[in-house]
Chains A and B, each alone.
Chain A
Amino acid sequence: MSEPILALKGVTKSFGPIEVLHGVDFALRPGEVHALIGENGAGKSTTMKILAGYLSQTRGEIILDGKPIEFTGSDQVEDLGIIMIHQEFNLAEHLSVDQNVFLGRELKRGWRLDHRAMRTRTAELMSRLESRADPATPVSEISVPEKQMVEIAKALSRQARVLIMDEPTAVLTERETEVLFRQVERLRDEGVAILYTSHKLGEVKRIADRVTVLRDGIMVRSDLIDDVTEDDMATAMVGRELSDLYPPKSDRGAEPILEVSNVSVRGVVENASLTLHRGEVLGIGGLVGSGRTELAEAIAGLRPRTGTVMLKGQPLAAGQVAQAMKAGLVYLTEDRKGAGLLLEKSLRENLTLPLLKDFGRPLIDRKREEAALDRAIEDFAIKVPARNMAVGDLSGGNQQKLLLAKTLLSDPDVVIIDEPTRGIDIGTKQQVYNLIADLAAGGRSIIVISSEMPELIGLASRVVVMHAGRVAGELAGDAVTENGIVRLAMGMEQSGKENAA
């Protein structure tokens, strides 16, 4: 086996009085894809940031090519060929895609920027990633998965010896993930050492050569991928056996609660109609960019739309979020950082934001807020090192749990959840699935938008599939299969229109 390029020896990390990594040993080898897995808050991102010089360790050593090294700054780290893609995006929203890809390393001709070369290079990289994002569009205007592709393009454009990716696939569909993995395999064959983390264990099994499990800041095992099964990994992560991931589906009532007819959003959704019944879990499938999120946002009053939305027999006005919430319909965004949470505010302030009026008028009752936070922490098993910390310092998965708690605070009748388990670990996933099932059993109705096929199949009794802004079809009962969803999502019935969006 080849010598490690980059390694950690006895590394610990404390944030203030709290130690989150307890003596981690870890080695990355050239030409090897190494997966780091663990529950939310286990310390994966922290480990990766230390490896890439974004955080300094409290104790222990970082070893590069056999010699201990002190990182002094991101320039030096990049010059050493260590590239990291963060869990949260690091993109300049107002700059265009190509400007982002070459940010800090702009191509020049003489003293002038060589715009054309950067644009062509970016277009090349993006097409290698099979992304349709135009290099000239500002990043603020592209979708979340496209942003991820931009991050990946940025990393690919540099000469990497070590590529570290923190949950790169969390926001990608299976198809996009496959595209990414082909690039990963190419880099591996070129001898790059790759470290990556994901909560999708099937995917880990597919791409990784070696897997290391982190639990509560301690490395519990590290094996060649062929020596472990997905179940082994899950058990090692959670520290207990996991039973069935998906709860049994409950029967839905016959009474329609939400009727969406002929909803259009300029340029993205065309004449979409669907019906949701009381106690039902309805899935919406489709490729990213097929208009799923836009449709959901239009229903929830977050986007201008035409067409009608009837909730419990009453029409919902377009563009009125607060009214929709009051009427009992809420939407959980897929864009946690951009639209979901105030990262520099406390958990309490985030949790109660949509519903402040219910926490005392005119003065907010702090005690009631604290009590609500206690309940949320308990119900959603949020791991909070310090209660008054900024939400941005929570691990990604725990942010997602807080977002769930925040969205469900108003005790809505209809919940539209966009990517419910993005970035959360398998143990918590199970909790979220149970929660969804419980909500449905309690007479609530849920729409789940997901790019994870097994999730749609496991949760929903009926799946509406979108393609290029239209509802391509609907599957129910035993017809809800991966194959069925994919056929509709790819627009097999209306072939030739795939590029319309």
Chain B
Amino acid sequence: MSAESISNTGAARARKVDLRVIGPLVALVVLILIGVMLNPNFLSYSNVTNVLARSAFIGIIAIGMTFVITAGGLDLSVGSMAAFVAGLMIMAMNWLSVSMGDSVVVILLGIVLALGAGLAAGFINGILITRAGIEAFILTLGTMGIYRSLITWLADGGTLSLGSGLSSLYSPVYYGGILGLSWPIIVFALLAILGEIVMRHTAFGRHCAAIGSNEKVARYSSVHVQRVKLATYVLLGLSVGIAVVMYVPRLGSASATTGLLWELEAIAAVIIGGTLLKGGFGRVWGTVVGVLILSLISNLLNLTDFVSPYLNGAIQGVVIILAVVLQRNSGPAR
């Protein structure tokens, strides 16, 4: 280590942390300004709500992911888990509607099932990681493949569609709303606020950060390390369930490509937002900003013909790398 890098700690750190705090926000504002300059319709009501509603699925998952990553874990399975849960939900609702008709009760049962399935899937990941001691990366890589293959099998390589009667009954959950805001946006916003409070102001959030920071210290400080880690995966599973509940009414279908790469987008959003990938520090509002940045980029590319939308992935990639570089330069020295 050079003398230079060591003297970068201490008081100099305090200033830099500020930069890290506002970094993602600055990026978001810059993106919005660019958007307004390139296309006057950018800030129109319909575009803004469109962007927000599309962000909501990844966003809800990313909030759960923030806790997992803060506690030093990772979950690669959320995208295929979402597809699998969506498939299950659709099949169950179609089956129920045969005997019960296209009723609200069927939809409510479907919702309960989706939430339960998400919860269970998260629990399975969590229990295997904490009790069987399997590395999170490997385990969730495995379950990612399993769920993806299960949904492909369930759909027989094609698409599972919700019956049209149910579909029109359910669609207000995505398209409807109150006060001009659609339900996905409202749910996303509420979960974000709740998540932020839990992360910053409850023992659970503090324990997540402590475990991610140094698991042994947490254990010696009588934190229930395994229990908290398990809870983060269960919460993430639940947030996948919630995202599915919001997602299914949008298209009324699920297929082998549903939720493809969602896990990477969610993880990227978390990191862009300033949560440390190695754990120990996380913030939910940052994740929200990260999600917005990612979806604004693709929205911008679609609205303007400046750069081909096919380059969306490339530009998002650059943003992710920049975010991590910024983090490394100003993160706490270890």
Query: Are B6 and A406 in contact, CB atoms less than 8 angstroms apart?
Result: no
Say yes or no: is B280 at the interface (Cβ < 8 Å to chain A): yes
A361:B203 contact, CB within 8 angstroms: yes
Is B222 in contact with A354, judged by CB distance below 8 angstroms?
A: yes
A364-B201, A364-B206 in contact; A55/B222 too (CB < 8 A)? no
Residues on the B chain within 8 Å of A390, using CB: 9, 13, 332
B14 contacts partner chain A, Cβ-Cβ < 8 Å:
yes
Contact residues in A for B219 (Cβ distance below 8 Å): 302, 321, 339
Interface residues of B in 281-309 (CB under 8 A from A): 281
B328: interface (CB < 8 Å): no
User: By the criterion CB–CB under 8 Å, are B220 and A386 in contact?
Assistant: no
Given contacts A17-B11, A54-B1, A340-B220, contact A356 B214 (CB under 8 A): no
- In the complex, the answer to whether A338 meets B9 with C-beta atoms within 8 Å is no
Of A344, A361, A364, which is in contact with the most chain B CB atoms at under 10 Å from its CB? A344
**In the assembled complex, which residues on chain B have CB atoms less than 8 Å from the CB atom of A15?**
10-11
* Residue B246 CB within 8 A of the other chain: no
**What residue in chain A is nearest B201 (Cβ atoms)?**
A363
**Given A321-B222, A344-B332, A338–B216 Cβ distance below 8 Å?**
yes
Interface residues of B toward A: which range? 35 or more
With a cutoff of 8 Å between Cβ atoms, the chain A residues found around residue B11 in the complex are 15-18, 386
Q: Is B209 an interface residue (CB 8 A)?
A: yes
Q: Is A239 interfacial (CB-CB < 8 Å)?
A: no
Interface residues of chain B: helix, strand, loop or mixed (majority):
helix
Give the interface segment out of A69-77, A123-131, A217-225, A375-383: A69-77
Q: Report the nearest A residue to B202, measured CB to CB.
A: A362
Q: Given B9, B217, B222, B281, which contacts A341 in the complex, CB threshold below 8 Å?
A: B217
Q: Which residues of A contact B13 (CB under 8 A)?
A: 390
Pick from A16, A18, A344: contact of B280, CB below 8 A: A344
Specify the chain B residue showing the minimal Cβ separation from A357. Answer: B203
A453 within 8 A of B: no
> What residues of B have a CB within 8 angstroms of the CB of A74 in the complex?
1-2
The 8 Å CB contact of B3, one of A55, A302, A331, A406, is A55
Contact digits for B178-205, partner A, Cβ 8 Å, 1 yes 0 no:
0000000000000000000100011100
User: CB-CB < 8 A to A17: which residues of B?
Assistant: 11
Determine if B221 and A364 form an interchain contact, defined as CB atoms under 8 angstroms apart: no
Tell me if B4 is interfacial: C-beta within 8 Å of chain A: yes
Question: Would A344 and B213 count as touching, CB distance under 8 A?
Answer: yes
Residues of A near B223 (CB, < 8 A) are: 322, 353-354
| B216 near A339: Cβ-Cβ < 8 Å | yes
Instruction: Scan residues 68-91 of chain A and give those whose CB is less than 8 A from a CB of chain B.
Output: 71-74
**What chain A residues lie within 8 Å of B318 (beta carbons)?**
none
Verify if A345 is at the interface (C-beta below 8 Å from B).
yes
- A213 interface residue (CB < 8 Å to B): no
**CA–CA, A331 to B219, complex, Å?**
12
Q: In the assembled complex, how far is the CB of residue A75 from the closest CB belonging to chain B, in whole angstroms?
A: 9
Shortest Cβ gap from B135 to chain A (Å): 14
A321 to B12, CA, bound (A): 38
CA distance in complex: A362, B207 (Å) = 13
Whether A342 contacts B2 by the Cβ 8 Å rule is no
B46 within 8 Å of A by Cβ? no
- Check if A393 is an interface residue, CB within 8 A of chain B: yes
Within 8 A of A (CB), among B82-113: none
* Contacting pair B206 A353 (CB below 8 A): yes
Asked whether any CB of chain B lies closer than 8 Å to the CB of A349, the reply is yes
**C-alpha gap A333/B221 in the complex (Å):** 10
Q: Is the CB of B9 within 8 A of A56?
A: no
Within the complex, the shortest CB–CB distance from A14 to chain B, in Å, comes to 8
A353-B210, A363-B201 known; A56-B220 Cβ under 8 A:
no
Contacts of B333 in A (CB 8 A): 344, 392
Q: Is there an interface contact between B203 and A356, defined as CB atoms closer than 8 Å?
A: yes
A325 close to chain B: CB less than 8 A: yes
Total number of residue pairs linking A and B with CB closer than 8 Å = 102
Assembly CA distance A389 to B210 (angstroms):
16
Interchain CB contact under 8 A, B213 and A345: yes
Residue of A nearest to B9 (CB): A393
Inter-subunit contact B3/A71 (CB<8 Å)? yes
Contact with B along A351-373 (1 / 0, CB 8 A): 00110110001111000000000
Question: In the complex, how many angstroms separate the beta carbon of B142 from the nearest chain A beta carbon?
Answer: 24
In the complex, A54→B281 CA distance in Å? 27
| A362→B1 CA distance, assembly (Å) | 43
A73 touches B221 (CB 8 A): no
Contacts known (A302-B219, A342-B213, A344-B334); A55 close to B206, Cβ less than 8 A: no
Interface centre among A17, A321, A342 (most CB of B within 10 A): A342
**A343 partner residues in chain B, CB cutoff 8 A:** 214, 334
Which residues of chain A from 11 to 27 have any CB-CB distance to chain B below 8 Å in the complex? Answer: 15-18
Residue in B3, B207, B216, B280 whose beta carbon sits within 8 Å of that of A356 in the complex: B207
Residues of B within 8 A of A361 (CB): 203
Q: How far does the Cβ of A66 sit from chain B's closest Cβ, in whole Å?
A: 22
Interface membership of B173, Cβ < 8 A: no
Q: Is the CB of A55 within 8 A of B220?
A: no
Contact partners of A18 in chain B: CB under 8 A? 11
**Contact, CB under 8 Å: A16 / B202:** no
Which chain B residues border A344 with CB–CB below 8 Å? Answer: 213, 280-281, 332-334
Q: Given B3, B201, B203, B334, which contacts A54 in the complex, CB threshold below 8 Å?
A: B3
A354 and B281 CA atoms in complex are apart in Å by 18
Answer yes or no: A53 CB below 8 A from chain B CBs. yes
Contact with B along A294-331 (1 / 0, CB 8 A): 00000000100000000000000000011011000001
Residues of B within 8 A of A72 (CB): 2-3
- CA of A475 to CA of B223, assembled, Å: 36
B219-278 with Cβ < 8 A to chain A: 219-224
CB-based closest 9 A-B pairs: A16-B11, A344-B332, A356-B203, A15-B10, A322-B222, A354-B221, A73-B2, A321-B222, A353-B221
Instruction: For the A-B complex with A344-B334, A349-B206, A364-B202 known, give 17 more contacts whose Cβ atoms are closer than 8 Å.
Output: A15-B10, A18-B11, A56-B3, A56-B7, A72-B3, A331-B220, A340-B220, A342-B218, A344-B281, A344-B333, A349-B209, A353-B218, A353-B223, A356-B203, A362-B202, A363-B202, A388-B14
A–B Cβ pairs within 8 angstroms, 25 of them = A15-B10, A71-B3, A74-B1, A302-B220, A321-B220, A322-B222, A324-B222, A331-B220, A333-B220, A339-B216, A340-B220, A342-B217, A344-B332, A349-B206, A349-B210, A356-B203, A361-B203, A363-B197, A363-B202, A364-B203, A364-B206, A386-B14, A388-B14, A390-B9, A393-B10
User: Which residues does B use to contact A, with CB under 8 Å?
Assistant: 1-4, 6-7, 9-14, 197, 201-203, 206-207, 209-210, 213-214, 216-224, 280-281, 332-334
